[in-house]
Amino acid sequence: MNKNAADLGELFVERNNKKIYRKDGVVTKVFDHKFYSESSVLSEAMNQAYALELGFNAPKVYSVFPVGSDWAIASEEIKGETLAQLMEKDPANKKKYIDKLVSIQISLLSHLTDNLKLPKLKDKLNKYITNSGLDATTRYDLNVRLEKMPNHYKFCHGDLAPNNIILEGDKAYILDWAHATRGNASADAAMTYLLLVLEGDEKAASIYLKDFCKKSDTDPSYVQNWISVVSATKLATIKDEQKRAILLRNINVVEY
C-alpha cells in the first residue's frame, strides 16, 4: 500500500538520494526512484533479512512499500550511536572502536555462504571497472588482476564502515546491506580500508588495516592488491575531485 512521506515521522538523515525517517521505533529508508529501482530496494531488504536469518545483528525488516513514486524499507529502530559518531565524540578510544569494527567484520566473513541470491563479488567489481571511465588498457589490466584473485565465497557486507554499525549498549548492529555479496574476505577489508581513507581518516585506516591483518592472519600486501581493484570500482560513483585523486593514486601505485 502506498504511504505518504508525512506519515513516516521525523526526517533525521538525508543523503545520497535517500531520506531516513523515524517514528515509534520504526526507521523508514526512502530511496529516490530516479536512482534506485524497486528491485534494488527489495534486494537490500532481502540481504538484511538474510543476515538476520544467519543470526547476525541487523535491524529487523518490517516491510517494503511504495512512498509516492519511491520505494522504502521499514526496519526496527536501533537506539544507539554509530561507530562513526562514537569515534568523533571520543577520539581517544578510536582504537577500541576500530577493534570492534574488525571483530564484527571477521565474524561476518567467517561465514561461508551458498546463497545464490547474493551476487558474486567479482562480478560486481567487474561491472564497476567497466563503468569506471578508465582507459581500455587500465581496465584490461584491472580485469586481469581481478581474475587472478582467488574465488572465495565469504559473506561480504561490501560497505562496512563506522557509519554502518550502531552500538546499542554492548550489542553492535550492522546496517546498510545494499552491497552484500559472496566473495573474498580481503576484498571486503580493502573496501573498508578505502572507505576510511575517503572519509579523510588515514590514521583510522592504517590502524584498521593492521588490526584486520593481525586478527585474520592475512598478509597486508594481499589486501593491498585488492585496494587497487576496489579503488577503481569507486571511480564509477565518486565525483569529488580530491577523492578521485586518491582513487587514481591507489590504482597506479600497484605494479601490474
Q: Which residues bind Mg ion (CB under 5 A)?
A: 164, 176
Shortest CB 167 distance to ligand ATP, Å? 11
Rounded to whole angstroms, how far apart are CA atoms 73 and 131? 28
Establish if 47 lies at the interface with ligand ATP (CB under 6 A).
no
CB-based contact 172:104 (threshold 8 Å):
yes
CB-based contact 29:75 (threshold 8 Å):
yes
| Phi, psi angle pair for 11, to nearest 5° | -80, 115
Does residue 54 sit in helix, strand or coil? coil
Q: Cell numbers of 111, please?
A: 561465514
- Residue 82 binding partner per list ligand ATP, Mg ion, none, with a CB distance cut-off of 5 to 8 Å that depends on partner kind: ligand ATP
Establish if 15 lies at the interface with ligand ATP (CB under 6 A).
yes
Amino acid at 73: I
Q: What is the secondary structure of 6-34 as a DSSP string?
A: GGG-EEEEEETTEEEEEETTEEEEEE-TT
Rounded to whole angstroms, how far apart are CA atoms 74 and 59? 9
Q: Which stretch binds ligand ATP (CB under 6 A): 10-18, 142-150, 230-238, 240-248?
A: 10-18
The only residue of 107, 163, 218, 224 in contact with ligand ATP, by rule CB under 6 A: 163
Orientation of helix 220-234 relative to helix 202-216, angle to 10°: 130
Shortest CB 79 distance to ligand ATP, Å? 7
Rounded to whole angstroms, how far apart are CA atoms 190 and 187? 5
The only residue of 8, 20, 104, 213 in contact with ligand ATP, by rule CB under 6 A: 20
| Residue 147 vs 168, nearer CB to ligand ATP | 168
CB-based contact 87:94 (threshold 8 Å):
yes
- Residue 98 binding partner per list ligand ATP, Mg ion, none, with a CB distance cut-off of 5 to 8 Å that depends on partner kind: none
| Residue 72 vs 134, nearer CB to ligand ATP | 72
| Residue 77 vs 141, nearer CB to ligand ATP | 77
Size of the site for ligand ATP (CB under 6 A): 18
* Region 98-157 residues binding ligand ATP, contact defined as CB under 6 A: none
Q: Which stretch binds ligand ATP (CB under 6 A): 62-70, 77-85, 208-216, 221-229?
A: 77-85
Question: Footprint of ligand ATP on this chain (CB under 6 A)?
Answer: 13, 15-16, 18, 20, 27, 29, 59, 75-78, 82, 163-164, 166, 175-176
